[in-house]
A = this chain, B = another copy of it.
């Protein structure tokens, strides 16, 4: 009989079961998302924030995707969604403690992007020139 693990400790060396592997892959997919990272960053910097303010702050995100991203983050226990029963409606989103730790974990990634954006752009230009000039498989 397969019991879902109920112990409190997680071996950091290797994921053992395929179920754990699948779940890990799923969580990774959720976390390695552009909008997720941007929402986390915005909420980290701005503290609690309303929907529209968050949308404006991030910029370029559709309501649908922002709603979806926030719901997923709420479901995963990374942000809290607090509704004030007022008119007009007011909903405030805020990072949980766990969400805060995730944002910290992505900090290195942000720094990498900031530090390497220039080099990546140069690499792209070089690649595009080379592809356009020499191989000629068109």
CB pair B111 A108 closer than 8 Å: no
Which of B32, B109, B128 has a CB less than 8 Å from the CB of A34?
B32
Interface size on A, residues (CB 8 A): 56
Bound form: Cα–Cα A10–B108 in Å: 16
Which residues from B are CB-within-8-Å of A65? none
Report the minimal beta-carbon distance from A92 to chain B, rounded to whole angstroms. 15
Report the minimal beta-carbon distance from A85 to chain B, rounded to whole angstroms. 11
Which of B15, B83, B127 has a CB less than 8 Å from the CB of A114?
B15
Interface residues in A80-118 (C-beta closer than 8 Å to B): 83, 98, 101-102, 104-118
Which of B10, B102, B110 has a CB less than 8 Å from the CB of A118?
B10
Bound form: Cα–Cα A111–B76 in Å: 17
Which residues from B are CB-within-8-Å of A47? none
Q: How many copies does the complex hold?
A: 2
Indicate if A132 sits at the interface (CB-CB under 8 A): no
Bound form: Cα–Cα A125–B102 in Å: 20
CB pair B12 A114 closer than 8 Å: yes
With a 10 A CB-CB cut-off, give which of A60, A83, A119 has the most chain B CB atoms. A119
Which residues from B are CB-within-8-Å of A60? 25
Which of B33, B74, B105 has a CB less than 8 Å from the CB of A112?
B105
Indicate if A20 sits at the interface (CB-CB under 8 A): yes
Bound form: Cα–Cα A124–B26 in Å: 12
